[in-house]
Amino acid sequence: DIQMTQSPSTLSASVGDTITITCRASQSISNCLAWHQQKPGEAPKVLIFQASNLESGVPSRFSGSGYGTEFTLTISSLQPDDFATYYCQQYSSYLRTFGQGTKVEI
Amino acid sequence: EVQLVESGGGLVQPGGSLRLSCSASGFTFRSHSVYWVRQSPGKGLEYVSGINGRQNVINYADSVKGRFTISRDNSKNTLFLQMSSLRAEDTAIYYCLKARYTDYESVDYPPFDHWGQGALVTVSS
């Protein structure tokens, strides 16, 4: 199984900050990497696929980058609606695996 | 608008069975692979199973292999997960997801693009 490791697990930030979350894969996954956002009591939703492609309707302050084993999610000018938990997820094999999540809190 | 609506969750005793359903709309269901992913406090998000449109490609996580069966009814735009020999560690919210691309777009393992709202399964005596 491909292991996905996110850091940090928790991130404290303020409205207007720029934050970066890192995701590392245990082996190369090319650009087969997605990011999901989950708010308390809600299902996750897809933010980014193919490492850097924004899902339709996702604000441009979200951006993703990376290839191989190291990936980042950057949120510029953090907004109140962005305080949530973020998960990376690989789809390089049939057994999709997720990172443990990064909680972005005020 | 794509919608995935799960149903069938509930409380079941260890060793029992339960069948989840996922009703899909807003896309050509028979052309897309669909999946189950679960989320529990202890294990985070975990892939459970997937099935392609023609039902000739099916896979499972090792943790559920031999106990869970995925199936679909393309005439009713519905995905199923039959769960048996349930254990306490199967307690989770079960989400239905769809593949971004159709099965004809030559992508081995497509990314997800939509999640359902989830169905809670609790295994406890």
Amino acid identity of residue B43, one-letter, is K
pLDDT at residue B108 is higher than 90: no
Distance CA B79, CA B85 (A): 20
H, E, C per residue of B55-94 = CCCEEECCCCCCCEEEEEECCCCEEEEEECCCCHHHCEEE
Chain position carrying tokens 């295994």? B123
Radius of gyration, alpha carbons of chain A: 13
Would the pLDDT of B106 be above 80?
no
- What's the pLDDT score for residue B107? 79
Q: B70 contacts in A (CB within 8 Å)?
A: none
* B105 has a pLDDT exceeding 90: no
Residues of B with Cβ-Cβ distance to A43 under 8 angstroms: 95, 115-118
Q: Which residue in chain B is spatially nearest to A54 when comparing CA positions?
A: B113
Radius of gyration of chain B (CA): 14
Amino acid (1-letter code) at residue A75: I
Asked whether the beta carbons of residue B45 and residue A87 sit closer than 8 angstroms, the reply is: yes
Token pair 């896979």 in the structure block, residue: B59
Whole-angstrom distance between the N-terminal and C-terminal Cα of chain B? Answer: 40
- Which amino acid, A74? T
pLDDT above 70: percentage of residues in chain B: 100
pLDDT digits (tens, 9 = 90+) for A1-28: 999 999 999 999 999 999 999 999 999 9
Tell me the chain B residues in contact with residue A89 when contact means C-beta distances shorter than 8 Å: 45, 112
